[in-house]
Chains A and B, each alone.
Chain A
Amino acid sequence: MLYTSESIEQLAAAFGQLPGIGRKTAHRLALHILKLPREDVDVLARALVDVKEKVRYCSVCANITENDPCAICASPKRDRSVICVVEEPNDVMAIEKTNEYRGLYHVLGGALSPLDGIGPEDLRITELLRRLETQPTDEIILALNPNVEGEATTLYLTRLLKPVGIRLTRIARGLPVGSDLEFADEATLSRAIEGRIAL
């Protein structure tokens, strides 16, 4: 595709860097921006810059926030004796939506993935240990993704935190609500059987 405008090409290239956006969509978006009223484009440009300028990581839990510490860490209503360890800020949002959990969080910034070059040093693990030194904690909940990377991280943190003597739990692995048992894959089903509870 050849356009006469270098600016459009540049914008399309920038859109193309975004996750889930292919070359065609990137061009369509760039042309769409061209048709927008000037004010709308200003709002969009400002929003992009604001995200970079205003959003930071909470110095306590590493969640994304505009105020440090974040609203969750600063809230007097949260149970400060429980820390839920997650991989990414998205996971905090997902758990918050359940309205079930009243404790605090710790965002690791990923999961252990040696083949991608991510080891313990690349996650906020030292920060978690330092936090436990200063903040009295009764329970740590490991809420990592149910895949090999999440599992490696859970095993690693378990070995690391066991000697600290704080109650250590992990979220259950089972079947998605609304799914059919017969269509569940073998690994999910056997983990669900493993994690059965007494009635």
Chain B
Amino acid sequence: MLVTTDAIVLKSMKYRDTSRIVSVYTRDYGKLSVIAKGARGPRSKFASALEPLSRVVLVFYRTEHRDLHLVSQCDLRASYRRVTSDLDRMAAGLACLELIDQTAHDEERNDDLFGLTEHALEILDAGNVRPEVVLTAFKLRMAAAIGFATALERCAVCGRPFRKGGCEAGWFRLATGSVMCLECQSRSRATGSSGGADAAALVRLSAQTHEALERCATAPLENLASLAWTTAQGNEIHNAARLYLHHHIEHLRPLKSEELLLRPVIRSSTRRT
């Protein structure tokens, strides 16, 4: 059956002499593998539409219970040129795709997750929000879209809000994605009501880190332009988000894309200036 769907290209592999096998995340059918015959010929109508980080409209022959579907047509809607021309944006964009690649399933429609991915790439491309903020927001919202949303606004025990003169954050509980305020935590520790095993799944959050995470999880992405953090805060935020995802997603591998941001040390003898 010939079907049409919005899609984002995750990865693209050469196949035989002229074709490509492309992994796409689609709005209607989840993650799929498609084959584009003749895609590498000099006059291919597909050309750059099959590059990773492309947003396309894909027309393909959908064969149920098949791993590979044949592409009939593929039209480029956005190529996010500013994402692919800056290392930080590229790494963040690829990290989003890597997360989708690892968590999305074949033939599983998730409108929220597709919308989130598309929006995150648009925001990265617009360039007003820092790439590390977009990526953190993507991680927390992806978690929500696949069924384990965080609840960071108020203390999970006493119910007081953290911001605006409420209580102070807190401890992030990986199992529930909720936060306990410092008072409640010390009270529960005194009464021994929080078990030892549970303590391992608690992450201490400073007030700034908590606020940053909360904004990343809930504020509209385009409103995060003012959000920035120091290296120390960044490490804390990165760590909390990483532990949370690993707690809920089985077999999640560390993101290779994030390695692009680790700068290898250049020995001083190489340096000329």
Contact = CB atoms under 8 A, between A and B. Distances in A.
Interface of A: 19-20, 112-121, 125-126, 129, 132-133, 147-149, 151-152, 155-156, 158-160, 163-166, 176, 179, 183, 185-188, 190
Contacts of A132: 270
Contacts of A113: 11
Contacts of B43: 183
Contact of A164 (B23, B94, B272): B272
A20 B79 contact: no
A160 B264 contact: yes
Contacts of A179: 42
Contact of B267 (A118, A133, A187, A190): A133
Contacts of A183: 43
Contacts of B91: 114, 152
A152 B90 contact: yes
B198 interface: no
A129 B267 CA distance: 9
Given A114-B94, A148-B53, 5 more contacts: A115-B257, A155-B86, A158-B87, A164-B272, A187-B48
Contact of B48 (A116, A120, A188): A188
A20 B84 contact: no
A119 B13 CA distance: 17
B17 interface: yes
B271 A120 contact: no
B266 A187 contact: no
Interface in B218-273: 255-257, 259-260, 262-264, 266-267, 269-273
A114 B87 contact: no
Contacts of A112: 260
A60 to B, nearest CB: 16
Contacts of A166: 272
Secondary structure dominating the interface of A: helix
Contacts of B193: none
30 contacts: A20-B17, A114-B94, A115-B23, A115-B98, A116-B11, A117-B256, A119-B259, A120-B262, A121-B259, A129-B264, A147-B12, A148-B51, A149-B52, A151-B90, A152-B87, A152-B94, A152-B260, A155-B90, A159-B87, A163-B266, A163-B271, A163-B273, A165-B271, A179-B42, A185-B49, A186-B48, A187-B47, A187-B81, A188-B48, A190-B81
Interface of B: 10-13, 16-17, 23, 42-43, 47-49, 51-53, 76, 79, 81, 84-87, 90-91, 94-95, 97-98, 101, 255-257, 259-260, 262-264, 266-267, 269-273
The 8 closest A-B pairs by CB, nearest first: A114-B256, A187-B48, A185-B47, A165-B273, A114-B257, A155-B87, A165-B272, A119-B259
Contact of A114 (B13, B51, B76, B260): B260
Contacts of A117: 256
Contact of B260 (A116, A120, A129, A185): A120
Contacts of B85: 151, 155
Contacts of B101: 115
Contact of A120 (B16, B42, B259): B259
A158 B91 CA distance: 14
A156 B51 contact: no
A156 B257 CA distance: 11
Contacts of A118: 256
